[in-house]
Structure 1
Amino acid sequence: MIKDLTHGPPSKAIVSFAVPMVIGNLFQQLYNVVDSIVVGRFVGTGALAAVGSSFTLMVFITSILLGLCMGASVVFSQFFGAKNYADLKSTVSTSFIFIGVTSLVLSIISIVFVDNIIVFMNIPSELMQDTKDYLLIIFSGIFFTFLYNWAAGLLRALGNSKTPLYFLIIAALTNVVLDLVFVINFKMGIAGAAVATVIAQLLSAVLCVFYCFKKLDFLRFKLKEITFSRRIFRLTASYSLLTSIQQSVMNFGILLIQGLVNSFGATTMAAFAAAVKIDSFAYMPVQDFGNAFSTYIAQNKGAQKQQRIQEGIKVSVLLITVFCLAISAAVWLFADKLMLIFVHASEAEVIAIGGHYLRVVSAFYCLIGYLFMFYGLYRGLGNVTMSIVLSVISLGTRVLLAYTLAPVLKLDGIWWAIPIGWLLADLVGIIYYKKVQIKIPLGGTV
Structure 2
Amino acid sequence: MRKTLITLFCFCLGLQLLHAQRNPELSLDPSKAEWFREAKFGMFIHWGLYSMLEGSYNGRTLPDKSLKNGDSWYAEWIHPRLEIPKQEYQKLKDRFNPTGYNAEEWVLEAKNAGIRYIVITSKHHEGFALWDSKVSKYTITHTPYKKDLLQQLVDACKKHDMKYGFYYSHWLDWEDPDAPFTQWEQPRRSDSDFEKYWQRKVLPQVKELLVKFNPDLLWFDTWGDNDHITPQRRDELIRLIRKNSNKCLINGRICYSNPGENIDFLEMGDNAYPSSILDRPWQSPATMQHSWGYHAKDFNWKSADKMVEYLVQCTSRGGNYLLNIGPKGDGTLPIPAVRRLREIGAWMLANNEAIYGTQPIRIDAPKGVYLSQKTVEGKHYMYIFMAQPISQLTLAVNGTGDCKVLETGQPITYKNYGDAVCLDIPENLFKDSSLQVLKLEIK
For the criterion TM > 0.5, the same-fold answer is: no
Structure with more contact order per residue of length (Cα contacts < 8 Å, sep ≥ 6): 1
TM-score, scaled relative to structure 1: 0.30
The structure whose Rg is larger is 2
TM-score, scaled relative to structure 2: 0.31
Which protein has the bigger strand share?
2
Which protein has the bigger helix share?
1
